[in-house]
Structure 1
Amino acid sequence: MTRPILLIVDYNLSRIDEVRHLRDYARERHGATVVLIRADPTEADHAIADEVIDLDPLRDDFAEMGEKLLGDRRERIRAGIVFSDNAVRSGAELLERLGVAVDASPPAEGAFSKYRYRLGEARVADLLAAQRVMVPDFAQIASLDRLRDFARDHPKGFVVKPAAEGNNRGVVVVRNGDDLTAAFAEVLPYLEGGVICEELIPYRREYSVDGLGPLVFLTEKISASGRYPVEIAQVLPAGLDDHERATLERAGRQANWLVGQCDGPFHNEIKLSDDGLHAAVVEPNRRPGGMKIWELARWVYGIDLHHHWIDTAFGTAAGVGRLVPGCSAATVLLGVGSDRSFSPDDVAAGADPFADAVQDTAERFGLADGELTVTEFSWLSRERRDLHAVARDNADFAAQGCVVLRGDRADIRPVVHALREAWSEALDRALELPAPVRKSR
């Protein structure tokens, strides 16, 4: 019997483990052959798929070329998923051409281009205002003079950022009196792809409305303060009152409508006012959230959303009831204590600074064995890199770790901050030779 095909359209390399997880389930549950489409595929890509097609989703003729390359297998292609921002529109168009169920491709451009999304908001600004969703003023810029014009019109501050770029790269907060020439210099590398200025959203708290189809959960984002508002942690479940949850879910639904999300995944980043009645969308995404958010959901809610995504794509997904948290969890980004050249090879053999940091944090909060546990840890790169102590974007972090907190002796938020402090100290110790002796519990 001919095996059905699952088509995976592109992914970001940092998410290769998720693709492997999707592949394994598609093979086991649906007996599927997995075909991956990706530009300039590597050996690692060939190792996680049965077949790899070299095709760039940013090509103008991507959907047309993909249809030609896959046309002889059209009848076997039973399901498809799009797993990158670069492919969100073109990948959906390809699946439409192949007759595979997918969320609509035309509005998906708003989930790739921040500028296109703001244009979409502006067209329905009155409707959004009636729902207490702020639509920030914005402009596309290509010169220092245009930046100065925007700064003059927005003395309370604004954000300069690439129109289409992830991982907080190139995002600069500009306040009254800041050096505009320096701010423009920081976004110069992104001018070709487009740079926008946005009125500063006056809300301090940030969350994401995450989910798949009708399944929704809220994730709390912890960001650094100052010039570079990079995220430093994601926390589940978000600590919210009922009216705050309603505000965020309302804004998240409206973001989904604007970018055409219906059955597929979403990760909409949203800021919330102090009174919990007003919100503003930072950016929408038609893909699972990064920083292991779906993995956090598996530990907290007991549901594997990757499996559910594959079942949804094949049209066999069963209904799921309300998501009820059984614990709390966080993904934490871990930096360096001072500006330095760093490689994981600098860590002394046998040292485990993250385990040490978690142990020190547990002792600080008086937690018992098993209440604060490590679920994942990874170095973000094995290469030697120059890292800033004050991270400018996510590439300035050395590692990423996930923890689960059980019981009610501590709140996950102060635990996250304490863990990052403990990590800095533990990493400094681990860089000394010989490696420190681990404490026994």
Structure 2
Amino acid sequence: MSEPKRNILMIGGRDHTFVRIGDMGLRYSALQIRAHLTDHLLDHAETVVVTDYEDIDSSVALAQALHRKTPFDAVFSFAEYGFLTAAHIAEVLNLPSNCQVSTVQLTRNKRLMREALRASGIKDVPFARVRSAAEIADFVAHHGECIIKPAEGGGSEGVYLVDATTDISRALAHAVQVGRDELIAEAFIPGPEYSVETMSVEGAHRILAVTEKTTSGAPYFIESGHVQPAALSADDAARIGERVRVLLDAVGYRTGPAHTEVKLNDGAVHVIETQTRNGGDQIWELTLETTGADVFKETFAAVLGLDYSAPPPAARAMAIRYMLAQDRVLDAITGLDCAARAEGVARVQSSAKPGTRYDAVLSAASRVAYVLARGDSREQALAHAEAAVAQIELR
């Protein structure tokens, strides 16, 4: 007789994760917000509870009720605002998880992360909690231009570059409109920015890939593209990997993927932030294609003690480019089919709705389409993505 399928509880998630749960032969239930309900989730999960899973107390009570009915073997989350809830549920139910309360608290709050890094002996970027325009001005006076942002924000929300000429009241208004309680100021580090994709198992951290990114620039720095592999010397790649391992040790991360953003300046590696999840913006997919590492399946296997072997890489290089809309009403997007047929293109996708008004590029909401492309080199993948983007027109 075959063993019964393992039963897991998911806090949040998207279809690409739920598909992989099925691939692993697992049963699952989910706590999910209404905005992320899909036909796939409703068709394949054993139970779906629509709830605000950021409400920890009510989510724990729901999980306890589900667990009494059909016991779970583990609790997982790859959703940025679901980590802490998953960690508390796992703690209350005494179940294994990729989320631990102390680690999530340190990584969700950028000030606490920096304090943990400093406690490990790494004095990285000057930072301070700020509560007013006067405190921001004082920070700029002591440290020069800086970034202010919500300490617990995500997806570039509320980010603003401040220098001696900035209207600080405007910058402060942009940061607080996100609705997160605490703001942090960090000295601005010039130089190229990268993200580091890792997979940890029982505290051993494996560097999977380093992703090179482009942004919309100051003052908001909305990410507009990514490419793997990054153009790095072996020495720079080694320094980046070592700094990320120190950081993950400092926050006590045990098992699962992490996405850490760093900058290089005069050969020094500076941590921007880390999240104990897969890289967003399809970076997890770039990593899967260029390395074969499926961080979702590896996490399920590591926590549940299952066998899993990664497939070989499918591509030598991958790039993604986003199209940003601003200062317009978008009537239509044309050329998507032509772009999809262009050389090296893996996928073209647009979720834009005609008639939508786009003002300044303040967040990822300004991204109206993307092109995902392969290549035999970083340069070729970028060229394929950019040639395809050139086929698309915003009207």
2:27 to 19, 23, 33: 33
Structure-to-structure mapping, 1:225-244, within 5 angstroms = 225-244=217-236
Aligned to 2:128: 139
Confirm whether residue 175 of structure 1 aligns to residue 145 of structure 2: no
Confirm whether residue 152 of structure 1 aligns to residue 141 of structure 2: yes
User: In 2, Cα distance between the equivalents of 1:193 and 1:383?
Assistant: 34
Percent identity between matched residues is 21
2:46 to 25, 47, 50: 50
Counterpart amino acid of residue 57 in structure 1: Y
1:100 to 63, 79, 95: 95
Aligned to 2:393: 427
Aligned to 1:262: 254
Shift of 1:40: 4.5
Shift of 1:419: 5.2
2:156–2:363 contact (8 Å) kept in structure 1: yes
User: In 2, Cα distance between the equivalents of 1:40 and 1:17?
Assistant: 14
Confirm whether residue 7 of structure 1 aligns to residue 9 of structure 2: yes
Counterpart amino acid of residue 207 in structure 2: V
1:315 to 305, 321, 346: 305
1:81–1:313 contact (8 Å) kept in structure 2: no
2:361 to 388, 391, 415: 391
Counterpart amino acid of residue 143 in structure 1: S
Shift of 1:210: 0.6
2:32–2:51 contact (8 Å) kept in structure 1: yes
Shift of 1:255: 2.2
2:8–2:73 contact (8 Å) kept in structure 1: yes
| Deviation string, structure 1 residues 15-37 (Cα, Å, up to 9, x no partner) | x2323322331xxx33x221011
Counterpart amino acid of residue 216 in structure 1: I
| Deviation string, structure 1 residues 112-131 (Cα, Å, up to 9, x no partner) | 1222212322333xx214xx
Confirm whether residue 216 of structure 1 aligns to residue 187 of structure 2: no
With over 3 angstroms needed to count, the CA separation of the structure-2 counterparts of 1:398 and 1:4, relative to structure 1, is same
User: In 2, Cα distance between the equivalents of 1:206 and 1:358?
Assistant: 31
With over 3 angstroms needed to count, the CA separation of the structure-2 counterparts of 1:209 and 1:178, relative to structure 1, is same
Shift of 1:73: 4.5
With over 3 angstroms needed to count, the CA separation of the structure-2 counterparts of 1:41 and 1:339, relative to structure 1, is closer
Bigger mean CA deviation after superposition, 260-269 or 102-111: 102-111
User: In 2, Cα distance between the equivalents of 1:401 and 1:48?
Assistant: 29
| Deviation string, structure 1 residues 207-247 (Cα, Å, up to 9, x no partner) | 11112224422222222323221211111112221111111
Structure-to-structure mapping, 1:161-172, within 5 angstroms = 161-172=149-160
| Deviation string, structure 1 residues 333-360 (Cα, Å, up to 9, x no partner) | 1123x521125xx23xxx533634874x
1:287 aligns to what SS in structure 2? coil
Counterpart amino acid of residue 427 in structure 1: E
Aligned to 1:362: none
Aligned to 1:271: 263
Shift of 1:383: 6.5
With over 3 angstroms needed to count, the CA separation of the structure-2 counterparts of 1:175 and 1:121, relative to structure 1, is same
1:8–1:80 contact (8 Å) kept in structure 2: yes
Aligned to 2:353: 382
1:23–1:49 contact (8 Å) kept in structure 2: no
The structure richer in strand per residue is 2
2:157 aligns to what SS in structure 1? coil
Aligned to 1:20: 18
User: In 1, Cα distance between the equivalents of 2:340 and 2:49?
Assistant: 43
With over 3 angstroms needed to count, the CA separation of the structure-2 counterparts of 1:270 and 1:105, relative to structure 1, is same
| Deviation string, structure 1 residues 394-422 (Cα, Å, up to 9, x no partner) | 111111221111369x44446555655x2
1:77 to 69, 72, 76: 72
| Deviation string, structure 1 residues 84-131 (Cα, Å, up to 9, x no partner) | 12122231221233233224321211221222212322333xx214xx
Shift of 1:266: 0.7
With over 3 angstroms needed to count, the CA separation of the structure-2 counterparts of 1:374 and 1:242, relative to structure 1, is same
Aligned to 2:273: 283
With over 3 angstroms needed to count, the CA separation of the structure-2 counterparts of 1:355 and 1:306, relative to structure 1, is farther
1:117 to 106, 113, 120: 113
Shift of 1:319: 6.2
User: In 2, Cα distance between the equivalents of 1:191 and 1:294?
Assistant: 28
TM-score, reference length from structure 2: 0.86
1:61 aligns to what SS in structure 2? helix
1:284 aligns to what SS in structure 2? strand
Counterpart amino acid of residue 396 in structure 1: S
| Deviation string, structure 1 residues 159-209 (Cα, Å, up to 9, x no partner) | 01112121111111112212212212212313552221111123x111111
With over 3 angstroms needed to count, the CA separation of the structure-2 counterparts of 1:192 and 1:316, relative to structure 1, is closer
1:403 to 361, 369, 373: 373
User: In 2, Cα distance between the equivalents of 1:325 and 1:279?
Assistant: 30
With over 3 angstroms needed to count, the CA separation of the structure-2 counterparts of 1:380 and 1:147, relative to structure 1, is farther
**Which blocks of at least 5 consecutive residues in structure 1 are unaligned?**
130-134, 360-371, 432-441
2:224–2:322 contact (8 Å) kept in structure 1: yes
2:275 aligns to what SS in structure 1? coil
With over 3 angstroms needed to count, the CA separation of the structure-2 counterparts of 1:48 and 1:286, relative to structure 1, is farther
1:270 aligns to what SS in structure 2? strand
User: In 2, Cα distance between the equivalents of 1:412 and 1:339?
Assistant: 30
Aligned residues: 385
1:340–1:387 contact (8 Å) kept in structure 2: yes
User: In 1, Cα distance between the equivalents of 2:262 and 2:307?
Assistant: 28
| Deviation string, structure 1 residues 371-404 (Cα, Å, up to 9, x no partner) | x42212222443743224x622211111122111
Q: Which has the larger radius of gyration?
A: 1
2:88 aligns to what SS in structure 1? helix
Counterpart amino acid of residue 299 in structure 1: E
2:339–2:348 contact (8 Å) kept in structure 1: no
| Deviation string, structure 1 residues 33-85 (Cα, Å, up to 9, x no partner) | 210112447652534522112443322425642452233146x4223321112
With over 3 angstroms needed to count, the CA separation of the structure-2 counterparts of 1:355 and 1:194, relative to structure 1, is farther
2:344–2:384 contact (8 Å) kept in structure 1: no
TM-score, reference length from structure 1: 0.78
Aligned to 1:295: 285
RMSD, matched Cα:
2.8
Counterpart amino acid of residue 286 in structure 2: L
With over 3 angstroms needed to count, the CA separation of the structure-2 counterparts of 1:81 and 1:241, relative to structure 1, is same
